[in-house]
A and B are shown apart, each in its own frame.
Chain A
Amino acid sequence: MADAALDRESGGGSVRVMDGVIATPELAAPPALRSTHQGSGIRKAVRTLLSDMRRDWQLYVLLAPMIIWFVVFLYTPMYGLQIAFKQYSLFRGIEGSPWVGFDNFVALFSNEYFLRAVKNTLLISLYSLVFAFPIPIILALMFNEIHHQGFRRIAQTITYLPHFISVVIIAGLVVSFLSPTTGIVNIILDRLGFEKIYFLTIPEYFRPIFIGSNIWKEAGFDSIVYLAAIAGINPALYESARMDGASRLQMIRYITLPSLLPVIMIMLIIRVGQLIEVNFEYIILLYQPATFETADVISTFIYRAGLQNNQYALGTAADLFNAVVALVLVVGANWLSRRYSQHSVW
Chain B
Amino acid sequence: MSARALTSDTSHEPFNLYTRGDRIFGFANTALLLLFVLSTLYPFVYILSASLSSGFAVTSGQVTLWPVDVTLAAYEYVLADQKFWIAYGNTLFYAFFGTLTSLLIMVPGAFALSRARLRGRRIIGFLVAFTMWFHAGLIPFFLNIRDLGLLDARIGIVLAFACNAFSVILLRNYFESVPASFEEAARIDGASDFQLLWKIFIPLAKPAIMTVALLCLVSRWNGYFWAMVLLRSEEKVPLQVYLKRTIVDMRSDDSFASGLMSTEYSFETITAAIMVVSILPIVIVFPYVQKYFNKGITLGGVKE
Which residues of A line the B interface, CB within 8 A? 2, 5-6, 8-9, 14, 31-32, 35-36, 49, 52-53, 55-56, 58-60, 62-63, 65-67, 69-70, 72-78, 80-81, 83, 93-94, 139, 142-143, 145-148, 150-151, 154-155, 157-162, 164-169, 171-173, 175-177, 179, 181-182, 184, 187, 190, 216, 220-221, 224-225, 228, 242, 245, 247-249, 281, 284-285, 288, 299, 302-303, 306-307, 312, 315-316, 318-320, 322-323, 326-327, 330-331, 343-346
Contacts and interface: CB of A to CB of B under 8 A. Distances in A.
Nearest to B197: A62
Nearest to B285: A164
B163 A160 contact: no
A56 to B, nearest CB: 6
Given A52-B117, A248-B26, 7 more contacts: A58-B192, A142-B36, A146-B30, A148-B8, A157-B286, A169-B243, A344-B304
Contacts of A165: 222, 279, 282
Contacts of A242: 15, 17
Given A59-B112, A151-B1, A307-B138, A80 B143 contact: yes
Contact of A247 (B25, B118, B287): B25
Most buried by A among B43, B162, B303: B43
A143 B127 contact: no
A162 B297 contact: no
A182 B133 contact: no
13 contacts: A9-B124, A56-B117, A62-B194, A65-B108, A67-B109, A74-B135, A142-B33, A148-B5, A177-B46, A181-B59, A245-B17, A302-B137, A312-B143
A69 B286 contact: no
B7 to A, nearest CB: 9
A228 B109 contact: no
B224 A168 contact: yes
Contacts of B222: 164-168
Contacts of A161: 40, 282-283, 286
Contacts of B105: 65-66, 69
B108 A62 contact: yes
Interface of B: 1, 4-5, 8-9, 12-15, 17-19, 21-22, 25-26, 29-30, 32-34, 36-37, 39-41, 43, 46-47, 50, 58-59, 61, 64, 104-106, 108-113, 115-120, 122-124, 126-144, 147-148, 159-160, 162-163, 168, 192-194, 197, 218, 221-225, 229, 240, 243-244, 247-248, 251-252, 268, 271-272, 275, 278-279, 282-283, 286-287, 290, 293-294, 297-298, 302-304
Contact of B268 (A78, A145, A182, A320): A182
Contacts of A151: 1, 4-5, 8-9, 30
A52 B139 contact: no
Contacts of B36: 139, 142, 159
Nearest to B116: A32
Nearest to B163: A69
Given A80-B143, A148-B9, A173-B43, A14 B120 contact: yes
Contacts of A318: 137
Q: Is the interface of A mostly helix, strand, loop or mixed?
A: helix
Contact of A248 (B4, B22, B248): B22
A345 B275 CA distance: 38
B248 A346 contact: no
A83 B138 CA distance: 13
A65 B104 CA distance: 9
Contacts of A172: 243, 247-248, 271, 275
B13 to A, nearest CB: 6
Contacts of B243: 166, 168-169, 172
A224 B119 contact: no
Contacts of B13: 147
B32 to A, nearest CB: 7
A284 B192 contact: no
A322 B59 CA distance: 43
A168 B247 contact: yes
A182 B43 CA distance: 15
Given A63-B113, A165-B279, A307-B139, A52 B119 contact: yes
Nearest to B44: A161
Given A139-B36, A159-B37, A59 B46 contact: no
B108 A66 contact: yes
**Ordered nearest first, which 3 A-B pairs have the shortest CB separation?**
A319-B137, A66-B109, A151-B5
B115 A73 contact: no
Nearest to A334: B133
A160 B286 CA distance: 10
A253 B253 CA distance: 53
